[in-house]
Amino acid sequence: MKNTITITLFLFMSCALFAQTQAVKLTKVSNGKEVIIEENRRVKLQTVDGRKVTGRLQIKNNTIMVDQEAFEMEDIASIKRNSLLLSILGSSFFAYVGGITIGLGTLIGLLADTTAFWLIIPGAALVYTGIKSPNFQRKFVNDGTWTFEIITLDD
């Protein structure tokens, strides 16, 4: 019994010790600044032909897979991180503030002053911004200013 537990623990520990994670290294050509996006991070990727794909970054056989679609490095036009927490908080914040602005504009317009109906326009813009889910992360464009390469990270 003790031997099976020891062997099982050894197998799990060896998998964790020898596991190597891959990442995409983005290097700015002008000053050599490096940004690393590790595997299993959420990214928003735009291809050369204009498709936009959002999902978790997977690297297999020197190809990048996002949302079960494989892309070569030369097919990527731009890449940016896409944090799930920021997406949820940002979109819900804008939609909530927009809804309150529309409600207050309508209420004040009906009860006090009709010029308050003008608050509906920025409220609608805020709701639209919340629906579109803004991403304030930096975009790395593959136009010659940044170079993309796949690396292996050793823990």
- Is 33 contained in some domain? yes
Q: Among 13-17, 35-39, 92-96, where is mean pLDDT lowest?
A: 13-17
CB count in 10 Å sphere of residue 121:
12
Distance between CA 11 and CA 1 in Å, rounded? 16
- Domain limits for position 94: 86-132
Q: Are residues 70 and 33 in the same domain?
A: yes
Q: Are residues 50 and 90 in the same domain?
A: no
- Is 8 contained in some domain? no
Using alpha carbons only, how large is the chain's radius of gyration in Å? 23
Q: Compute CA distances 144 → 74, 103, 148, whole Å.
A: 11, 48, 10
Q: Are residues 53 and 27 in the same domain?
A: yes
Span 86-103, pLDDT tens digits: 777 888 888 999 999 999
Q: Are residues 100 and 34 in the same domain?
A: no
| Domains: count for the chain | 2
Asked whether residue 126 carries a pLDDT value surpassing 80, the answer given is yes
- Is 14 contained in some domain? no
What is the mean pLDDT of the segment spanning 41-48? 89
Asked whether residue 42 carries a pLDDT value surpassing 60, the answer given is yes
Asked whether residue 2 carries a pLDDT value surpassing 70, the answer given is no
- Is 46 contained in some domain? yes
What is the mean pLDDT of the segment spanning 30-44? 87
- Is 56 contained in some domain? yes
Angle at which helices 120-132 and 84-111 cross, to 10°: 160
* Position with higher pLDDT, 136 vs 64: 64
Span 62-90, pLDDT tens digits: 788 888 888 888 888 888 888 877 777 88
Q: Are residues 91 and 104 in the same domain?
A: yes
- Is 16 contained in some domain? no
pTM of the model: 0.64
Q: Are residues 119 and 51 in the same domain?
A: no
